Amino acid sequence: MRKPALYSPSAGPAAPRDGAQGGESQAVEAAPVVQPAAPPRRWRAAAGRAASSPRLMWSALVLLAALLAASVWHNGARGPRALTQKDIDAAVLRTLTTQNLPSPAARAAEKIRPAVVRVMSYGKNAKGETVEQGVGTGVVIVDKGVILTNLHVVQGAQSIKVVFSDGSESVATISGVQAHNDLAVLQAHTIPDDMIAATMRSTGDLVPGDEVVAVGFPFGIGPSTSAGVISGFGRAFKSPEGEQEIGNLIQFDAAANPGNSGGPLVTMDGEVVGIVTGILNPTSHRTFVGIGFAVPIESAASAAGLPPF
């Protein structure tokens, strides 16, 4: 059974502690529960980063094994010395200082990449031949093959094809449209067995300056990754090719170009907060000058009939 759309979970309230029970008539007090010492803050965050990198985790395990072997050899007849918290701290810190960790943008791109697809639309030329008329990007939001993209990428197409991250291809059809936000919902006819859908996240607590990553196929090249920040909210944009103005957009400065349309805008956790829909350029060239726009994921998800956050 396939899973529904994924949303980033929010932390729930902590469970209330039980009130203390007992009285003076009790002859025996319950033994206090000894809680294990929390790992020092200086490497708890580092351990989280290590969890996303198998190479780093294996390096840490090797170092720990080396420490244990050295301890046994050094103590000789006195027997092995048990590893202390100080030994573990030293091993983790040594790993962090000797290994090149992936950047936050690289980790975000790696997480979202399995859900990013190339979208190609086809039409007929004057000779009646089938030709490619548009290339864009899409993101899988439900693992049964539901894909979000821009309407202008597929509008007027006689046929649509999507290419998944594993290289497999599928015919797709338009199953929904939200024209006022330039959004289209595609349904792929064939999907990979291990299809991974993106996780969506509310934009409610985002602020200008938060880092974001755009992943897509600019000029058909990709998947390509660019990083930047959110520049603002509530922006309006009117495409030079169209008459309709789109409102309530996220402005960002991660590089985007023709072909990025329909791709995901994600946080450093790799969670989708918007669908890239356009770039602003005061010249006649269709190239990026630092201002891009994305439809907030709340609006984009509603185009697919998904519940609000």
Residue 170 annotated in active site:
no
Which residue in 224, 226, 231, 261 is the catalytic one? 261
Enumerate helices (H) and strands (E) in the chain, giving the number of each: 6, 14
What's the CA gap between 89 and 38, in Å, rounded?
12
Q: List residues bridging with 7 in a β-sheet.
A: 200
Which residue among 59, 143, 182, 231 is the active-site one?
182
Task: Report d(CA 81, CA 104) in Å as an integer.
Answer: 38
Structure-block tokens of residue 285 = 């060239």
User: Which residues, in sequence order, are CB contacts of 47 under 8 Å at separation 6+?
Assistant: 39, 92
Asked whether the beta carbons of 160 and 119 are under 8 A apart, the reply is yes
- The residue ranges of DSSP E strands in the chain, in sequence order, are 6-7, 116-124, 130-142, 146-150, 159-163, 169-178, 183-188, 199-200, 211-216, 224-238, 245-252, 264-266, 272-279, 292-296
Strand partners, 42: none
DSSP string for residues in 19-69: PP---TT-SSPPPPPPPPPPPPHHHHHHHHHHHT-HHHHHHHHHHHHHHHH
Is 182 in the active site? yes
Report how far residue 177's alpha carbon sits from residue 184's, in angstroms, rounded to the nearest whole number: 4
Q: Which of 152, 226, 231, 299 is catalytic?
A: 152
Residues that are catalytic: 152, 182, 261
